[in-house]
Amino acid sequence: MAFGKKTRPPIYGLMAEFDEPHRLIEATEHAYAAGYRRMDAYTPYPIEGLAEALGKHYTRLGWIVLAGALTGALGGYGLAYYASVVSYPFNVGGKPFNSWQAFVPVIFECTILAAAFSAVLGMLGLNGLPQPYHPVFNVPRFALASRNRFFLCIESRDAKFDSEGVRKFLEEVSGHEVYEVEW
């Protein structure tokens, strides 16, 4: 294809608008069945099954949070251990220096703190946010994606993308005008 090398395709993609969430899901399923892969749907609230229709079944976020939680737990215990045993051993009521039972609240709080931060930063990182600019915002009607309209965008990077075919396909499934998404 002409844009297979370094030259950028003339547009970011083609975008169709929908009134109803179930029509968007159907259209997405058709598009996936037709072989389109580089596409995304945009909705004003999370819709069950839409990510799956786009071929996205799994997210690594759970593992990131688990790693964060373990880091927090070890870090919390390490902190208490270092302070109470290594750096400043101090006899409190005849308890052993490594009185790990008394460290549990601190370990627990550190675990939660690190896990929560990894959940949020992991989600933002995997989503590529913050992202100040994105081509989809060039479509004037796209402002309604955060109100009451649903959008499906097939991107020009898709291997099967050809302007006319995609436009026809989207017109058929949406019944609305199809917008060109400029870079």
Partner 1 sequence: MAEQHEHVMGSRQPTQASQRAPVIAPGHTFASVTDKISAIALTTRHPKSWWVGFLISFVLVMMLFYTITHLLVTGVGIWGVNVPVGWGFDIINFVWWIGIGHAGTLISAILLLLRQQWRTSINRFAEAMTLFAVASAGLYPLFHTGRPWFDYWLGPYPNTMGLWPNFRSPLVWDVFAISTYALVSLLFWFVGLVPDLATLRDRSTNRFTRAVYGIFAMGWRGSAIHWHRYEMAYLLLAGLATPLVVSVHSVVSFDFAVGVIPGWHTTVFPPYFVAGAIFSGFAMVVTLAIPLRKIYGLQDFITQRHLDNMAKVMLATGLIVAYGYMMETFVAWYSGAHYEQYMIWNRMTGPYAFQYWMLILCNVAIPQLMWFRQVRENTVLLWCISIVVNIGMWLERYVIIVVSLHRDYLPSSWGIYSGTPWDWSMYVGSIGLFLCLLFLFIRFLPVISIFEMRALVSETDERKG
Residue 9 vs 21, nearer CB to partner 1: 21
Q: Which stretch binds partner 1 (CB under 8 A): 29-37, 43-51, 162-170, 172-180?
A: 43-51
Q: How far is the CB of 129 from partner 1 (least distance, A)?
A: 5
Cα–Cα distance measured from residue 103 to residue 80, given in angstroms and rounded to the nearest whole number:
7
Q: Which stretch binds partner 1 (CB under 8 A): 8-16, 29-37, 60-68, 166-174?
A: 60-68
Q: How many CB atoms lie within 10 A of CB 22?
A: 11
Residues 98, 85: contact at Cβ < 8 Å?
Answer: yes
- 131 lies in the binding site for partner 1 (CB under 8 A): yes
Residue 16 vs 53, nearer CB to partner 1: 53
Residue 74 vs 106, nearer CB to partner 1: 106
Residues 151, 16: contact at Cβ < 8 Å?
Answer: yes
Distance of CA 1 to the CA centre of its chain: 30
The 8 Å CB, 24+ separation contacts for 1-6 are: 3/156
Cα–Cα distance measured from residue 46 to residue 50, given in angstroms and rounded to the nearest whole number:
8
Q: Which residues bind partner 1 (CB under 8 A)?
A: 21, 28, 40-47, 50-51, 53-54, 56, 59, 61-62, 65, 79-80, 83-84, 87-88, 90, 92, 95, 99, 102-103, 105-106, 108-110, 112-113, 115-117, 119-120, 122-124, 126-127, 129-134, 136-137, 142-148
